[in-house]
Amino acid sequence: MSKRLILVLALAFVVSTSFAAYAGVQNIKVSGDINAIGIIRDGFDLGYGYPSGSSEPQPKDINGSHQRLFADQVRLRVDADLTDNVSATVRLLQERGWGNTSGQVNGTDQNNYNTNNTNNIGINLDLAYITLKEFLYSPLTMTIGRQELMFGNKLIIGNGSQLANGAADYNNLPKDLSVSKAFDAIRATLNYDPLVIDAIYASVRNTVTTVDARENLYGVNVSYDITKKVNLQAYAFAKYDKSNNASSGASSGNTKMNKVVATPGFLLTYHGQNLKASAEAAYQFGATNHAGTTTGAASEPKEVSAFALQLLGDYTFNKLKMKPSIGGGYTWLSGNRGSRGGWDPMYQDENLNNIAYAILPFSNMRVGNVRGSIKPLEDVTLLANYGYYQLDTAVSSLTNQYTNTVMAMNGSKNNLGSALDLTVKYDYTEDVQLGLTYGSFWKGDAFLDNAHSAMQVVGNVKVVF
């Protein structure tokens, strides 16, 4: 363990004892987890290579398409109950590839986007929020600060971290494996059991204060338990994105972007003893305007009109010895239709298949999944998940989300390919779990060259305390 991490742990202890002395803390709970990961990846560029001058995976072989590395993810959480109705939560997070003790990737500091502190090893404030129960009104709870927001199956809201959505590899850790998903947000929860209403505001990105360059999220989620097994949720979320206006001056070369996307929808879920099923549908509307500059006129807005549909189901044979389960799902995310834009992934966090989650945009596709699991031993679980991917609308190009490469596509074909994930989990103790996952993605004829495929092997040991 590094000296800096020891220092942070000691600081957390001092802060917690200070709370006990000066804030009248009723109870303090310290928890966390450590996850050590080994990663082998091949072909995530799908044979298209990497953009000139871009940051390729680190460490890498000479051709840049292979990754071999170990990494760790360490989280330390402190929950403090100040009174019956007031509590505070802080969680620290470190994610890094082994050997990257100074936060350097090819001589550039990659820690916490801080290019000045070359001794930083990437310890970040992952959660920091205050919870106020019975705030002004007994059913109302306010949660203020950096917090996780996850609604339903996370088709719309689940991941607010720029690290996991389009940022470069972080401290040698592939971005799609990051556990940093929190939002800087205010959440108001009205609990009229069985009716629960959540209203949220989140500042997703606001890195430049001298111009109007920000990305905000607004939304309401209404959940109602029809019975003990059936729940209905209705929601409306809106994203207001002007984050590309990141210029403190009036340079004519800086592109402006103004995107407003509203997403109303509903989710119906059933949780029985053996069967779990859900049906979700959503519609998007809004406009995107992003062809102007800080001094020039912007283009005419492009209308956004898109749909999403998802059906999921899993059945577990609990009375059988090895508790086998079988399940499947269908996900439809509409693409461009004429002058109308396709589905905006918003802040989704759905991992339909591991490699597809890392590479493919969560838009303009239809996905069918078949999955199953079995427990040959009490502490061993085997899982398999197959996915078949198609474009909703054929396109001439597609951006690889992992490499940021624009890939030329066969504009008359829709078959993106298929994916398979095979996983074994071993519960070493109640607190320690070992896992090993093999994944493949085979390209379909929608790609101009379907001879390349991607694969990965990820092993991990995780302890929770």
The pLDDT of residue 321 is 93
CA 434 to chain centre: 22
Sign of the CA dihedral running 386, 391, 395, 398:
negative
The pLDDT of residue 108 is 37
Does residue 373 have a pLDDT over 90?
yes
- What is the residue-averaged pLDDT of the chain? 84
Segment (H or E) for 143: strand 140-147
The pLDDT of residue 100 is 65
CA distance linking residue 347 with residue 44, whole number of Å: 23
Does residue 116 have a pLDDT over 60?
no
CA dihedral 43, 369, 432, 41 (to 10 degrees): 0
Read off the pLDDT of each residue in 380-402 and give the average, rounded to a whole number.
Answer: 95
Largest CA distance in the chain: 69
Does residue 408 have a pLDDT over 80?
yes
Does residue 172 have a pLDDT over 70?
no
Q: Tell me the three state secondary structure of residue 256.
A: coil
Q: Tell me the three state secondary structure of residue 135.
A: coil
Read off the pLDDT of each residue in 34-47 and give the average, rounded to a whole number.
Answer: 94
For 289, residues 6+ apart whose C-beta sits below 8 A from its C-beta are: 256, 257, 258, 259, 298, 299, 300, 301, 302
For 46-73, write each residue's pLDDT tens digit: 988 877 655 555 555 434 468 888 999 9
For 117-137, write each residue's pLDDT tens digit: 334 456 889 999 999 999 999
pLDDT band at 183 (very low <50, low <70, confident <90, very high): very high
Comparing 42-51, 96-105, 321-330, 364-373, the range with the smallest average pLDDT is 96-105
Read off the pLDDT of each residue in 384-409 and give the average, rounded to a whole number.
Answer: 94
Q: Which of 285, 405, 292, 414 is nearest to 340 (CA)?
A: 285
Sign of the CA dihedral running 66, 52, 205, 106:
positive
Segment (H or E) for 15: helix 3-22
Contact in structure between 298 and 287 (CB atoms under 8 Å):
no
The pLDDT of residue 251 is 41
Contact in structure between 26 and 81 (CB atoms under 8 Å):
yes
At which residue do the structure tokens 């929808």 appear? 265
The pLDDT of residue 363 is 95
pLDDT band at 188 (very low <50, low <70, confident <90, very high): very high
For 261-319, write each residue's pLDDT tens digit: 999 999 999 999 999 999 999 999 998 765 444 444 445 557 889 999 999 999 999 99
Comparing 113-127, 145-159, 375-389, 405-419, the range with the smallest average pLDDT is 113-127
Contact in structure between 183 and 217 (CB atoms under 8 Å):
yes
Across 373-401, b (16+ Cβ under 10 Å) vs e yields bbbeeeeebbbebbbbbbbbebbeebebb
CA distance linking residue 143 with residue 381, whole number of Å: 36
For 447-462, write each residue's pLDDT tens digit: 987 778 999 999 999 9
Contact in structure between 318 and 354 (CB atoms under 8 Å):
no
Q: Name the amino acid, one letter, at 199.
A: A
> How many C-beta neighbours within 10 Å does residue 56 have?
18
> How many C-beta neighbours within 10 Å does residue 340 have?
14
- Tell me the two tokens of residue 363: 């838009």
The pLDDT of residue 173 is 77
Q: Which of 290, 281, 286 is nearest to 260 (CA)?
A: 286
The pLDDT of residue 13 is 47
Comparing 232-241, 297-306, 341-350, 379-388, the range with the smallest average pLDDT is 297-306
